[in-house]
Amino acid sequence: MEDEYISISCIPLPTFIQGGYAIFDPGEMHPNRNDLQYFVLMFIVKGTLFIAEDGQNYTLKPGDNFILLPQHHHYAWRPVEARTEYYWVHFSVSGRWVQEPEPVDVSSKINIPTLHYFTPSVTLCLKKLQRIPDSEVTFKLINRIFKNSALQNNVGFWQAQQQFIDLLQIIQVKVKGESSYAQLAENIERYLRDHFDERITNASLGKQFHVHPNSIALSMKKTFGMTPNAFLTKYRLEEAAKRLLMTTESVSQIALDVGYNNIYYFSTVFKRYYGASPIAYREKFKKQSVPPSD
C-alpha cells in the first residue's frame, strides 16, 4: 500500500482549506475519524506517528510525507512513544480522483474543447507515502501558506492558494519525458514566486538548486524566454499593482512587501513598467472602480 499513487484531475484545481501544526506527547493517539471530507497532507517533523487508514497500518517518521483520503476511516493503531510533531494541510478536490498502484490519467469533469485549450496532462499524481523532496524549502513554504491564510483578506487568500499549488508541485510525481532544462526552469519559477520578497541572485539560485548560475539563466531563457531577474521584476511589480488596488497599505510598505528596500527605486521601476507612479496608478484605477452616483 505504501506504493499507492493518488491521481487527481486538476480541472478544477485542488483548493487549500486550512492547515496547522500538530503535537502529540508520549501515550497520546491520533483522533479516530471516518467522515472528514478533505484530503489531508501530513509532513512529519519529529517523532514517529502510527496511523492507519481502512485497516492498513503506516509508521511515519521525520521527513515522511503522507496523504489521507477524504471520507475514509483513519485512526491511530498505536500511541506515540516520543513527542511527535507534524504539519497537516487539508485540501478539497471537486474533480475526479483515484488511488491506484500506478499513476493514471484522470479526465476532467469539465468538457474543454481542445481547439481552445490543450495541455499534455491535467492530472496531478501524488505518492501516498514518500520522503519529502526538500524539507527546508517545503516547511518554509507551508509556513508561508499558513501566514497568508491567516491575513483574512483577498491578497492573503489568493497568495495562500497559489502557494498551495506550488506545494503540490514540489511533492508531485514528476512527469517522464520532460527535459531537465524545463524541470529546472519550472522549479526556479516556482521558487521565485514563493520567495519574491527576498534578495535573489543567479548565484543564490545556483546554490539552491545545486547547479552553475549559467544553467539557471539558460534554463529560464529556454523555457520562459526571460532571465530569472526579468521574471522576478515582472512578478514583483504585478504583486505591487495588485496590493495597490486591493489594500490600503502605504506605497513604502508595499515596496518592502514585494522585495524593494528603496522606495524611490521601486517607484522608478514601477513607473517604467506601468507608465505611472504607484500613487498615480492607485488613484487612477481605484477611481475607475467606484460606480457613478445617481
At residue 144, the pLDDT reads 93
> Which among 200, 64, 204 has a CA at the least distance from the CA of 135?
64
**Three-class secondary structure of residue 152 per DSSP:** coil
The DSSP secondary-structure symbol of 33 reads: B
The CA-CA-CA angle for residues 235, 118, 94, to 5°, reads 80
Highest-confidence segment of 49-53, 194-198, 289-293: 49-53
The residue with cell 500538530 is: 22
Residues 246 and 154: beta-carbon distance below 8 Å: yes
List pLDDT tens digits, range 145-186: 999 999 877 888 888 999 999 999 999 987 655 567 778 888
Q: Is the dihedral of CA 268, 198, 126, 179 positive or negative?
A: positive
d(C-alpha 263, C-alpha 255), whole Å: 6
The CA-CA-CA angle for residues 223, 225, 229, to 5°, reads 105
* Torsion on CA atoms 103, 71, 149, 201, rounded to nearest 10: -10
List pLDDT tens digits, range 183-205: 888 889 889 988 988 889 999 99
pTM: 0.73
Structural domains in the chain plus CATH codes: 5-131 (2.60.120.10), 198-294 (1.10.10.60)
CA distances, 149 to each of 21, 39, 164 (Å): 14, 18, 10
> Which among 182, 197, 188 has a CA at the least distance from the CA of 170?
188
| Single-letter amino acid, residue 241 | A
Lowest average pLDDT, out of 50-54, 142-146, 149-153, goes to: 149-153
